[in-house]
Amino acid sequence: MPALLRQLSGLGGCTTPIRLEGYRTEHHVNRDTGEIGRVLHHLDSIELPAGHLLVRCNNRRTTRCAACAETYRRDTFHLITAGLRGGKGTPEDVATHPRVFATFTAPSFGPVHNRLTGPAGTVRRCRCGVRHDQEDDALGTPLAPDKYDYESAVLWNAHAGMLWRRFSIYLRREVAKRAGLSQRALRDHARLSFAKVAEYQKRGAVHFHAVIRIDGPGGGDTPPPAWATVELLTDAIKAATPKAQVAGPVIDGRAHTFAFGDELDVRPIRGADFNGQQELTDRAVAAYIAKYATKGAETATGALDRPIRLIAEIAHLDITDHARRLIRTAWALGARKDLEHLRLRAWAHMLGFRGHFSTKSRRYSTTLGALRDARAAWRRAQADAAELEQDETTLVLAHWAYAGTGLTPAEEWLTATLAPAPGTEGEPTHG
């Protein structure tokens, strides 16, 4: 039992680990002759307490695995923070570069129940005449469902990623225009870096939160030009947003075109610490983006976080009628040959959105992969220091095959009683 407890503790609280069967053998190798010598270490899954090698699922969704989602949230926080104040290989000088936090919303597809507040924080009446509670299931649902444009709502989600790419092109043009440069010449003076996260509003429409920064031509390592200011960046974003449009499909004679909604919020990011909550700070921005990086469409669909195989499944799901109609619309549109590139049936559970929830430009900061690799390297270094002499060369032979997902009922019970082992971050675990 103690060995099983150690193996489960090494999962760091993951409740849906990947089970692998196979082996891993480390041999000593003579550096001079290349001869393979004695076995230094052998691991066989059949000899492990759980009968398999257990690997964390590393799913980013809280609804799938709270422990792995928390690791993802922390990594995202550090990734965003590094691009705002430096660290993790990003110079601290980026904190002096112009940067803003912008929110891009979807257009209206019809009036919905909402919860508006006045200047003093008092809740105003919705158009339906009710002052909705924050947890009211009616929030985000249409006032008149039969008049709500479900078709456009689903197609908007399906084209949101493409619209962001179009916006980024126009933003570079607008920045260059305000600097008195051509778009080609801008590359020699400045570079735009960003990190963004997608979030579902209660009505089921995706919108984006983004950190946008102006760097020098070499990225965060180089200072931005003197003309690069927060005011110039803000003005360029406000000019580029309405110009960004994506032509959509023509359905039953109706041509769709997609653009961001009128509600655009652009705020400067100031200091590294909270300042009486009067200014938006890099710490607050990083925490906000990291929070939404672990979510999916559950804001609008509840706990639905898996692809739908048969449309009949949704009749048994605990979701609102609004979410059900969005899913049905995505499923119906997904049957059209001219829309098969959108893969709407495969992404019906996401209401048509198939993009990555958190993305960044190449030079914004470090990467999630680099953070995971650094943790894994640290753990291996600790193990190697204890087991191997530094002058030894090893040959590793391994073969692993997928054997299933999840824990047995007994393992689930034990996992619930355990505290994660210090430093666990997703490496394969063994006794």
Give the pLDDT confidence score for residue 390 in this predicted structure: 47
Kindly give the pairing relationship between strand 191-200 and strand 206-215.
antiparallel
pLDDT mean over 58-69: 84
Residue 428 has pLDDT above 50, yes or no: no
Judge contact between 60 and 305, C-beta under 8 A. no
Q: What percent of the chain has pLDDT over 70?
A: 89
Pairing of strands 99-104, 53-55: unpaired
Q: Residue 383 — very low, low, confident or very high, per pLDDT cuts 50/70/90?
A: low
Tens of pLDDT, residues 74-118? 888 888 888 888 888 888 889 999 999 999 999 999 999 998 888
Residue 372 lies in a domain: no
**How far, CA to CA in Å, does 257 sit from each of 178, 249, 353, 400?**
28, 8, 16, 48
**Burial class of residue 367 (count of CB atoms within 10 Å of its CB; 0-12, 13-18, 19+):** middle
pLDDT confidence band for 297 (50 / 70 / 90) = low
Per residue in 191-221, pLDDT (tens digit) is 999 999 888 988 999 999 999 999 999 988 9
Instruction: Identify the band that residue 426 occupies on the pLDDT scale cut at 50, 70 and 90.
Output: very low
Q: Is the pLDDT of residue 273 over 60?
A: no
To the question of pTM greater than 0.85 for the whole model, the response is no
**pLDDT score for 386:** 53
DSSP output for 10-29: TTTT-SSPEEEEEEEEEEEE
Per-residue model confidence (pLDDT) at position 427: 43
Q: Domain for residue 11, yes or no?
A: no
Q: Is the pLDDT of residue 275 over 50?
A: no
Residues above pLDDT 90, as percent of the chain: 47
- Specify the range with the lowest mean pLDDT, choosing from 51-65, 280-294, 332-346: 280-294
Q: Give CA–CA dist 294/292, Å, rounded.
A: 5
Lowest-pLDDT range of 22-26, 231-235, 423-427: 423-427
Confirm whether 262 is domain-assigned: yes
CA-to-CA distance for 380 and 395, rounded, in angstroms?
15
Residue 186 lies in a domain: yes
* Residue of 273 and 156 predicted with greater confidence: 156
Structurally, the chain folds into a number of domains equal to: 1
Residue 182 resides in a domain? yes
| 68: three-class secondary structure by DSSP | helix
Work out the average pLDDT over 147-158. 97
The domain in which residue 170 lies consists of: 91-109+149-301+357-364
The Cα 80–Cα 292 span in angstroms is 13
- Contacts with 172 (C-beta within 8 Å, 6 or more apart), sequence order: 183, 186, 192
206: helix, strand or coil: strand
What is the pLDDT, as a whole number, of residue 142?
A: 94
User: Could you tell me the pLDDT band of residue 276, with boundaries at 50, 70 and 90?
Assistant: very low
Question: What is the arithmetic mean of pLDDT over 4-11?
Answer: 86
Output the pLDDT for position 396: 87
121 in a structural domain: no
pLDDT value for 284: 83
Q: Which helix (H) or strand (E) holds 2?
A: helix 2-9
Judge whether 276 lies within some domain.
yes
For the cut 90, the answer to whether the pLDDT of residue 21 exceeds it is yes
Regarding predicted confidence, which is higher, 305 or 79? 79
Q: Is residue 272 part of a domain?
A: yes
pLDDT at 429 over 50: no
Mean pLDDT check: name the lowest of 261-270, 354-363, 387-396. Answer: 387-396
Q: What is the mean pLDDT of the chain?
A: 86
Average pLDDT over residues 117-130: 87
Of residues 170, 344, 171, the one with CA closest to residue 249: 344
Q: What is the per-residue burial (b if ≥16 Cβ within 10 Å, else e) of 22-45?
A: bebbbbbbeeeeeeeeeebeebeb
In 3D space, the residue among 255, 264, 288, 258 whose CA is nearest the CA of residue 274 turns out to be: 288
Q: How confident is the model at residue 38 (pLDDT cuts 50, 70, 90)?
A: confident
Give 109 or 390, the one with higher predicted confidence: 109
